[in-house]
Copies of this chain bind each other. A is one copy, B any other.
Amino acid sequence: MKGMLVIISGPSGSGKGTVVKNLKYALSISVTTRKRRETEEHGVDYFFCTEEEFIRMRENDELLEHAAYVGKFYGTPRKYVEERIDKGEVVVLEIEVNGAIQVKEKFPDAVLIFLIPPSIDDLAKRLAFRNTEDSLEIEDRITRALEEIELIDRYDYLVVNDDIPVTVSEIETIVTAEYLKPHRSKDRIEKFAFAKTSNIAEASHQI
């Protein structure tokens, strides 16, 4: 059975990083043109490449999505994702809303999950607790979160992240249910209808 691509998005402060780390599925590895840090490994943390290589990949439609951040390129390699899915693995991609919508267009079988905290007030509290943003930045992130939730209809599922273990189990429930969709069940349908090619009358007598 084929695996599937699960995309998880959510506002900064939704806790998606922690959730993703606690899932039992493989994480997708991004391609990037930024410099490798000492602690990072090629093919584990990122696929590091030159700008020329990145542009070539983008032009050859080898990236499911791509974005620039602080002058460096980041992208999701189609081949890596497809190979793992063909092997039957669930591949998780943590990515922002625009990237997620890009991937869904190229890869309609992807499952898009949007993660939110229970309320805007919780979001503000979580962001303040991190102590990495000042109140203007927090205001900005809240505004962005409210803009992002307007795009929720482009997503397949909405999960409220109130408690990590519950959220992790809800995402696993989504994956189990997705495996039961007809378009992911070609092999089970074939197995069921197998006798079609032999004689039906025979099947009804062979007991």
Interface residues of A (CB under 8 A from B): 114, 116-121, 124-125, 127-129, 135, 138-139, 142-143, 146, 149, 152-153, 155-160, 170, 173-174, 176-178, 180-183, 185, 188-189, 191-196, 200-201, 203-207
Contact = CB atoms under 8 A, between A and B. Distances in A.
A204 B152 contact: no
B173 A153 contact: no
A121 B114 CA distance: 42
Contacts of A206: 121, 124
A115 to B, nearest CB: 11
Contacts of A194: 119-120
A188 to B, nearest CB: 6
A207 B174 CA distance: 34
Contacts of A200: 120, 139, 142-143, 146
Q: How many copies of the polypeptide does the oligomer hold?
A: 2
A128 B207 CA distance: 7
A189 B124 contact: no
A201 B146 contact: no
A203 B204 CA distance: 69
